[in-house]
Amino acid sequence: MNIVSSTSLRAAAFATALVLSSTIAPAKDAAPADSTARLLSSAGSVPVKAAGPYVQIGSYRIHVWARLGHPSAVTSDGTWFYRNFRADESAASGTLVVRFDRGQVSSLSLVTPAIETAMLASPTNARGVTQIASR
């Protein structure tokens, strides 16, 4: 009959824990947190500095059209939507929303499909226009 001492059991458990911890730690460090993707999924919208190297805040409407092409959708308030955009250095992807003020880009943001649908359904509320209710 073989008898295993408690000391050898403890040594085996310690060795197993050491091997497992050395394989788990690099996997955790290998995937840095994608804060942009996390913010997009939780908030539904992420502000964007530029769309490619040429379109940014202040770009003229004609310049946006020349660089990005015809928008996927346009609302009655003049907001343009470009589907299938991706944030640089992130897994975040969605619809690029381009807002204009006096013919120039006033804001750029990346939104989820749910936010896009809501904005297209209610374009006047998308810009934060105050609504007045009456009886």
58 φ/ψ sector (left φ>0, alpha ψ -120 to 50, else beta): left
More confident residue, 91 or 106: 106
DSSP-derived letter for residue 75 is: -
pLDDT, tens digit (0-9, with 9 covering 90-100), for 1-30: 455 555 554 555 444 554 445 544 444 444
Question: CA–CA distance from 42 to each of 9, 35, 51, 108, 125 (Å)?
Answer: 46, 10, 22, 18, 21
- The span from the CA of 82 to the CA of 48, in Å, is 13
Least confident of 23-27, 79-83, 107-111: 23-27
**CB burial of residue 109 (10 Å; 0-12, 13-18, 19+):** middle
For the chain, what are the domain ranges? 35-125
pLDDT, tens digit (0-9, with 9 covering 90-100), for 43-72: 889 998 999 888 999 999 999 999 999 999
Instruction: Pick the closest to residue 86 from 38, 41, 44, 51 (CA basis).
Output: 51
Residues near 90 by beta carbon (within 8 Å), at least 6 away in sequence? 34, 36, 37
Q: How confident is the model at residue 41 (pLDDT cuts 50, 70, 90)?
A: confident
pLDDT score recorded for residue 62: 96
